Structure 1
Amino acid sequence: MRSRDRDDGDDHEAAETTSPLEWLVAGVGALLVVFTVGYMVQFALTRPEGPPAVVLEVTGVSRASTGYLVSFTATNTGLSTGAGIVVTGELSSGGARIEASEMTLDYLPQDSERQGGLFFTQDPAAHELVLRAQGYAEP
């Protein structure tokens, strides 16, 4: 009489063998993990540190209900993220300041861009317009 707990061996060995395809997929996965971790460590150790560098570009001027809207794009070409970036716009004529407007970009990651706008009561086309990033905070 045969015991129910007894194993023939053939079925057990067949169930535990790993196919070459499974080994290949596991190897590729392991290599991806090793290369990813290695890249992250290398990037962290060799990446230069520095402040954000905000480049402002006017993308348009349009009429608004209270005057004029100057739309712009802020691009961070620097080496770190900036938060609370204060952007000011100033209209001047003949060296005399006519009007100023200010806004804050909440968050500008490294190598990214955000759009914003400044409102003026005077027509920016009739004056000299200068946009500046005044300051930032580290997030």
Structure 2
Amino acid sequence: MREATAPVPPSRGEGHVLVGEPDPTYAPPARTRAKARIGRAAAGERWIVRILQGGALISGGMFLASLVLELLPPSQDVAVSIDTLRKSAASLLLVTPVARLAVAGTMLGLRGEWRYTLYAVGVLSLLAIAVGAGLHA
């Protein structure tokens, strides 16, 4: 005679899902792609924020350092240091938005927004031409 075995209930262990319950690990492909796009967009925005904050903080620190140097007794070295710090800070303030535009154009290109990437490349090209023409004048 055969031994009777009781049916084994399905376990809730790894890899097992009861019939009728949704699989919590399954995400439709469209939703997965959308989440990836949102993640890349958020990462790009964080880079832009870091660039703008970093440029402003470093430039502000350089201006403050030049003001502190004003408290020292006047000399040729101090005057040159103050002038160098202020010119460098002003240059950094001008370059920061250009770096932001380059990062934004790259991030938009990674997201597939080619029209805006071309706009960013066009603006950066015009800036390069203007700087090049200004250096020869």
The bucket for the TM-score relative to the shorter chain is under 0.3
TM-score (norm 2): 0.27
Higher RCO structure (Cα 8 Å, ≥6 apart): 1
Under a length normalisation based on structure 1, what TM-score does the superposition of the two structures give? 0.27
Whichever structure has more strand as a proportion of its residues is: 1
